[in-house]
Amino acid sequence: MDKHINTNLHKRLSPGFGARLKEERERLEMSQTQFGEIGGVGRLAQRQYESETTSPTIRYMTAIERAGVDINYVLFGAKYEIKTLTASDLDRIEERAYRWVEAVAERRPDGKLDSTSRRFLCQVIQRLFIQIEQGVLSTDTDIESLIHLEPISRERS
C-alpha cells in the first residue's frame, strides 16, 4: 500500500510555483536533467513541474530540499530569516507544528502518515509558523488552505 500523499500541488499552490522552482534550480546552477536526478525524476518531469503541468511528490520535494532548495519559497513564494526568534520561540513553534501534523495524520482514513511525509510536512509547517511569528504572513493565515492533503487512491485489480 502506497502511503504517499497526493498534494495536488499544481492545483493548490500560489501562482508562480514553477517559476520559483526554476529560479531555485538556476540559483544552484543545475540543468533540468541534473536537478531532476536529485529529485528522482527525469528531465521531462522536471520540465513539467516548472511549467506547472504536473505536480511533484513529497519524495521529490524532500530530495530537492536536501540539495539546498528553499521549499517554503518554492511552495508559497515567501522567504524568511530565523534570526529574530529565541530558542524558546523555536521550541514552541516546533511543538505546534508537530501537533498540527499529528492532527493531519489522525484525519487520514488510515490514521497514518509515512515518515517522509511526516518529516516534510513538519518542516514546512514550522517554517509557515515562523513566518507568521515574524509577521511575514498574517496571524489569520489559513494553513489548511495552503496545504491540501488527500490520500492517493489505488484501484485494486
**What burial letters (b/e) apply to 64-103, b meaning 16+ CB within 10 Å?**
bbeeebbbbbbbbeeebeeeebeeeeeeebbeebeebbee
Whether residue 50 is predicted with pLDDT greater than 60 in this model: the reply is yes
pLDDT digits (tens, 9 = 90+) for 83-103: 677 888 889 999 999 998 888
Which superfamily is assigned to 5-151 in CATH? lambda repressor-like DNA-binding domains (1.10.260.40)
Q: What is the pLDDT of residue 142?
A: 76
- Cell numbers of 113, please? 502518515
Distances (CA, A) of 37 to 20, 22, 117: 18, 15, 20
The answer, as to whether pTM is greater than 0.75, is no
Cell numbers 484501484 correspond to what residue?
Answer: 155
pLDDT-derived band of residue 113, with 50, 70 and 90 as boundaries? confident
